[in-house]
Structures are given as C-alpha cells and as structure tokens.
C-alpha cells in the first residue's frame, strides 16, 4: 500500500507517544515551533472507547474518550496509537480512527504499565505472538470497512524478560505492518539501562530479508535531532523516535538541546501550552501541566524561585500573570 510512510524523508524524525505529555495541547505547540516528520497521539484504550459508548448508550461522536483522539491539520502526518488485547475491540477502534481522518494506526505492544498488562495488552503481547498478529490483522480489517485505507504499524520492545528479536520481529513482520518502532529495551529493563542501539542493525537485516516494505524506527535515549540523525546513519534505521527529550524542549526537532532556548522564549512557550491545554483538553486536570512547568523552567538563574511561584497557578491566566510579574528578573539573565 502506498501511504504517507513512503513519502517521508530518510531518515525521518518522529515524536513519541507519551500519555499525558504529547496530548493535543503539546502536539499543537510542537507543530508550531518545530515540527517533526511524523507525530503520534497518546495511547488510547480501544476497549475503553467501546465500553464507554456502550455503557452510556451514546454515539461515538459523544464519547468523552474521543477527546484524546483530536488533532489539527498542522500535526499531519499523525498516527493514533491504540491498545487492546481483543481483536474485536481493535477492529472497532481502528475503524473509528480511520473515519476520524488520522493518517495511520499504531498498536502499542510495549507498554509495561501494570494496568495495561493486566488486560493482556501493551508489553504482555510480546508473550502472545499469535494474538499480536491477530491484532494487527484486526486493525487492518477495521480500516477496510472505511474508505480510508490507512496503514497499521506497531511500537514494541526488544523482548519481554530477555531480548528475543530473532523470533519477535519475524512474527510481527509476518502480519506486514507498515512500520515497526522498537524501543530498544526489554520489558524487564523498563527504562533502567541504556537503550541497546547496537541491536538496530540486526533488526534492519531481518526486515530486509523478510519484508523490505516495513519501515524500522529506533527509539530510546535520543537527546536531539543531531543525535537522532547520527544514530540513523550508524544503524540504518529509517526513522528515529524521540520521547523524553521533548520535555521542556519543543524545539528538539530543530536541533536544539534542552535549555539552549532563552528563558524568555521558554516561558512564552509554556504559557501558550497552558492556554492550548485549557482549550483542547478541558477533561484533564491543570495539575498535569506541572510536569511541563518543571521541565520548561529550569537551568537558568532564578529558575528555582520562579518555578515555585508558577507551580501555584491553577489556570493559564494565573500562570501568565505570575510569569509577567517575574519577567524582569528573567529578562536580565
């Protein structure tokens, strides 16, 4: 299938899905200040979408969980990430996502969160290869009920308790996903060890021999665009996904490293983010923004004091007010 994946530059840079971080508000900001080649939504529970609709007896359009599936044109190409262990739920949610106009669907097969794994989803699927393949097929089938033939990809890890790429990657490739993103650690390793970038070359070789059409993205510990491009060159990955390095640094895809952006510009971006947050994610508590305040306001003289004041804000207007009252000290740094 000829999709947006084939039109991406090589190597390409991707924004990682991060629950309560890369939501509609932060993606809007990133798209405006320094867009990557492709973006992911936060992950959304396919079962949650279905059951909320059934319990409340409402049409999909009134489902409150659909708020996590909103996006703007400037974010394109954008992929919606889903999780489930039930093919019927995956088919339902994939059809929904295709109808919403997303450019692609990604299935999460790497999340180590207990609540996700308890459902048999996320990283638990690494232990259930047949089910993993069935989920990819179900997503494709769901999409086929619409006129939007969008591609299906997978994000996973190198194995569960140990690295099992030689079995796991061919299994996934047998279902012909458009792309595979590999977070270069096992489930057991969580994020406690450095990502195993040395494994990418062998993943690319497996891909070349089994299904050359599937794109390979590497993920883990990438600090900036320069680092990403270097890693792509060294390993042969088609694309590189960046996650935590976007905390406080929506300019990461422009090549800026954290704290390189002047404090004034960072504050302005934080305030813009707070307003987007209120406008686009009214279902989320303002408390969620605090991790952004910590990440944006650090590494300059006076940052600790200013951060403590900003943390007291309970809405975007208050945040802007506190920032403007303290602008002079920041200006003179």
Ligand X SMILES: Cc1cc2nc3c(=O)[nH]c(=O)nc-3n(C[C@H](O)[C@H](O)[C@H](O)COP(=O)(O)O)c2cc1C
**Interface positions, 225-264, toward ligand X (CB under 6 A):** 242-245
User: Closest CB to ligand X among 64 and 194?
Assistant: 194
Question: Which residue has its beta carbon closest to ligand X?
Answer: 243
User: Closest CB to ligand X among 245 and 323?
Assistant: 245
Q: Is 23 in the site for ligand X (CB under 6 A)?
A: no
Task: Tell which residue, 220, 3, 202, 212, has the closest CA to residue 102.
Answer: 3
Q: Is 187 in the site for ligand X (CB under 6 A)?
A: no
SS3 250: coil
Residue of 111, 224, 298, 331 marked catalytic: 111
Least distance to ligand X from the beta carbon of 89, Å? Answer: 17
Number of other residues whose CB lies within 10 A of the CB of residue 159? 21
Q: Which helix (DSSP H) or strand (DSSP E) does residue 22 occupy?
A: none
Residue 205: what are its φ and ψ, rounded to 5°? -65, -45
| 282 neighbors 237 (Cβ within 8 angstroms) | no
Site string for ligand X, 72-101 (x = CB under 6 A): ---------x--------------------
Task: Tell which residue, 48, 80, 73, has the closest CA to residue 63.
Answer: 48
User: What b/e readout covers 42-69, taking b as 16+ CB neighbours within 10 angstroms?
Assistant: bbbbbbbbbebbeeeeeebeebebbebb
Q: Is 69 in the site for ligand X (CB under 6 A)?
A: no
Q: Is 183 in the site for ligand X (CB under 6 A)?
A: yes
Site string for ligand X, 260-299 (x = CB under 6 A): ----------------------------------------
Q: How far apart are the first and last CA of the chain?
A: 53
Q: Which helix (DSSP H) or strand (DSSP E) does residue 157 occupy?
A: strand 152-157
User: Closest CB to ligand X among 89 and 306?
Assistant: 89
Candidate residues 222, 269, 295, 319; the one interacting with ligand X per rule CB under 6 A: 222
User: Closest CB to ligand X among 77 and 263?
Assistant: 77
Candidate residues 4, 19, 294, 307; the one interacting with ligand X per rule CB under 6 A: 19
User: Closest CB to ligand X among 39 and 320?
Assistant: 39
Q: Is 189 in the site for ligand X (CB under 6 A)?
A: no
Residue carrying the six token digits 């954290």: 258
User: Closest CB to ligand X among 90 and 306?
Assistant: 90
Q: Is 220 in the site for ligand X (CB under 6 A)?
A: yes
At a CB cut-off of 8 Å and minimum separation 6, what does 181 contact? Answer: 14, 106, 153, 154, 155, 156, 217, 218, 219, 239, 241
Give the side-chain half-sphere CA count within 13 A for 324. 7
Q: Is 307 in the site for ligand X (CB under 6 A)?
A: no
Least distance to ligand X from the beta carbon of 46, Å? Answer: 13
Q: Is 155 in the site for ligand X (CB under 6 A)?
A: yes
User: Closest CB to ligand X among 45 and 63?
Assistant: 45
Q: Is 18 in the site for ligand X (CB under 6 A)?
A: yes
Both tokens assigned to 94: 């994939």
How far is Cα 14 from Cα 218, in angstroms, rounded to an integer?
Answer: 10
| Catalytic residue flag (residue 298) | no
Q: Is 105 in the site for ligand X (CB under 6 A)?
A: no
Task: Tell which residue, 84, 163, 175, 164, has the closest CA to residue 130.
Answer: 175
- Beta-bridge mates of residue 328: none
**Interface positions, 37-66, toward ligand X (CB under 6 A):** 42-43
**Footprint on this chain of ligand X (rule: CB under 6 A):** 16-19, 21, 42-43, 81, 108, 110-111, 155, 183, 219-222, 242-245
Catalytic residues: 111
């Amino acid at each position: 299938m000829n999709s947006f994946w084939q039109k991406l530059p090589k190597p390409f840079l991707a924004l990682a899905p991060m629950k309560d971080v890369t939501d509609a508000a932060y993606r809007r900001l990133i798209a405006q200040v320094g867009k990557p080649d492709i973006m992911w939504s936060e992950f959304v529970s396919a079962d949650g979408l279905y059951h909320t609709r059934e319990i409340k007896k409402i049409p999909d359009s009134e489902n409150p969980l659909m708020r996590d599936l909103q996006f703007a044109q400037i974010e394109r190409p954008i992929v919606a990430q889903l999780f489930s262990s039930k093919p019927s739920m995956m088919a339902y949610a994939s059809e929904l996502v295709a109808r919403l106009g997303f450019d692609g669907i990604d299935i999460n097969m790497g999340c180590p969160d207990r609540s996700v794994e308890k459902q048999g989803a996320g990283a638990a699927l690494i232990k259930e290869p047949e089910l993993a393949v069935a989920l990819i097929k179900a997503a494709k089938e769901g999409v086929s009920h619409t006129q939007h033939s969008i591609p299906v990809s997978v994000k996973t890890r190198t194995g569960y308790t140990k690295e099992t790429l030689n079995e796991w990657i061919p299994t996934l490739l047998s279902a012909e996903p458009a792309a595979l993103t590999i977070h270069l650690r096992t489930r057991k390793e969580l994020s406690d060890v450095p990502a195993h970038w040395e494994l990418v070359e062998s993943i690319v070789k497996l891909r070349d021999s089994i299904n050359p059409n599937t794109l390979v993205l590497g993920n883990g510990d990438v600090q900036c665009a320069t680092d990403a491009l270097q890693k792509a060159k060294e390993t042969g990955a088609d694309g590189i996904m960046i996650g935590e390095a976007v905390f406080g640094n929506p300019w990461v895809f422009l090549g800026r490293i954290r704290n390189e952006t002047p404090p004034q510009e960072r504050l302005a971006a934080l305030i813009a983010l707070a307003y987007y947050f209120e406008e686009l994610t009214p279902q989320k508590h303002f408390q969620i923004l605090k991790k952004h305040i910590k990440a944006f306001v650090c590494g300059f003289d006076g940052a600790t004091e200013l951060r403590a004041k900003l943390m007291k804000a309970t809405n975007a207007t208050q945040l802007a007010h506190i920032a403007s009252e303290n602008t002079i000290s920041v200006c003179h740094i």
